[in-house]
Structures are given as C-alpha cells and as structure tokens.
Amino acid sequence: MQQPRPFSPADVARNAANGAGDLRIGLGCEAMRLGDPAELGALIAALLPHGPVKLTARADRPITISANAQVPIDALPLPASATAQCDRDLLRITLPWPEVERVVAPVSCAPDLRLSGRSFLVADDSHTNLLILAEMLKAAGGHVDVVSSGPCAVELAMTRGYDLLLLDISMPGMGGCEVLELIRARACTTPAFAVTANAMSHQVREYIDAGFAGHLAKPLQTDDLVQAISDFFA
C-alpha cells in the first residue's frame, strides 16, 4: 500500500462506478479517511459487475463494502489490510482505514510568496474538506474564509473581496457551477477554481467552459494545491 492519503470514500466510489452498476452510498461516506483511494476504487470497480454494492463508513467504524457473496474473493483486488467474510448471500469487506480528523497532524509547509497575504473563500459541504483546505492555504500564507453551502458562498463572494474562490462542484442544493453562474450574473468577476473528484479531461473542459479559471482534483495534496494556485497567480 502506498503512503496513506486523505480521501472521501463516496467520491472515490462514484468515480470508480462512473455511472454504471448499482452503487449505494451509506452514511458517513463523504467524511475523509486515510488510505489508498486507488485500492478502494479498484475494489468497487471489480464488485459492481456482479450486482449491487453498498458502501458505508460511519464515524468510529471501519469502511465496509457489502456485495454479492457469489463473487470469488480470490479474484478481488483486496487491499492488504482488508478482511472479507461471507454470510449466506452477502459478502462483507472491511477496511480499517481511519478517519482523517482523528489522525491528521497540522499541515506544515513553507509559506509561498505568491499566496502570502492573499484571501480565499472555500466552499464545501464536508466539514473535513473545509478543515483540510483551510489548513493547507493558511500554512502557505493565505487568509481563508470557509462556508458549507452554495448560497453562503454566493453571499460572501458578493460582499467580500477575495483573490480566489475554491468551489466544491457537488455541494447539495447548489453546487460550484451554480454558484459561479449566479455570481457572474451579478457582475462578480473573482476567479474561481472547481474542486472535485471528477477530474477526467472532458470534465475539466466542462469546468473551464463554465467559467472556472482552473480545477483542483480530490483527494488534495498540499504540494499540488499550492503549486496550482501559485501558478495561477504567477
């Protein structure tokens, strides 16, 4: 297994399914975990052709995947830390990957002169994502406001002067694309980045066509985040 990375199990599972198969995402799956998202994605992709797959990741519990028990366990790309059990018609796979909030250390990186003193608005419905992004940007020298919904993002974008907006694409009710469309209609020209796990080339083109100045792919890494934003301001 590679070095553990923060990721949202729900985002990884949706990306692996790519709209195909019967994927059911339970409570807690949006919250960030530490592990290998590529391993989880490969496992979900291998299970979906055999029937419904349910993913759960409740607080204080491991990630669990329930699927058709007829799937040969030996044929699955199980992570080394995974355990698998069959109970009649149900295959249950457990991944003991911890919650980010319980293990992540404060972000440490050298301040970037191109970010120092700049102001950012981060919008994401996941408290963990907000925490991670804010810590990354603050460690690089930025000033950060965070909101957890599209309407709140619109309100702050229209009333405060930011250097850059970081908008989660998939917020419920009003996602990042809707936020950007609304503030542009109200003559707000602050540049914005799309933040999303859906970062295939055609999807990125759609974000750029919608008016975003760039995109950030989840799961986010500090170096990648700082480099992308620094390049934008260069």
Q: What is the pLDDT of residues 83-128, one digit of tens each?
A: 999 887 899 999 999 887 654 444 555 556 678 889 999 999 887 7
More confident site: 44 or 31: 44
Q: Is the pLDDT of residue 27 over 70?
A: yes
Query: Is pLDDT at 174 greater than 70 in this prediction?
Result: yes
Confidence of residue 226 (pLDDT cuts 50, 70, 90): confident
Where exactly are the structural domains of the chain? Answer: 5-101, 107-233
Asked if 5 contacts 34 with a C-beta cutoff of 8 angstroms, the reply is: yes
According to DSSP, residue 99 is labeled B
CA distance 216 to 165: 12
Q: What is the Cα 123 distance to its own chain's centre?
A: 12
Structure letter (DSSP) for residue 75? G
What is the C-alpha separation between 13 and 91, in angstroms, rounded?
17
- How many separate helices (H) and strands (E) can be counted in the chain? 8, 12
| Rama region for 99: left / alpha / beta (φ>0; ψ in -120 to 50; rest) | beta
CATH node for 5-101 = 3.30.565.10
Query: Are the CB atoms for 143 and 162 separated by under 8 Å?
Result: no
Contact yes or no for 65/93 (Cβ under 8 A): yes
| pLDDT exceeds 90 at position 150 | yes
CA 142, 129, 173: angle at the middle one, nearest 5? Answer: 110
Using an 8 Å Cβ cutoff, are 129 and 32 in contact?
Answer: yes
**Amino acid, single-letter form, for residue 175:** G
| Strand-strand pairing, 192-196 and 164-168 | parallel
At the top level of CATH, which class does the domain 107-233 belong to?
A: alpha beta
Helix, strand and coil percent figures for the chain, each rounded to 5: 35, 25, 40
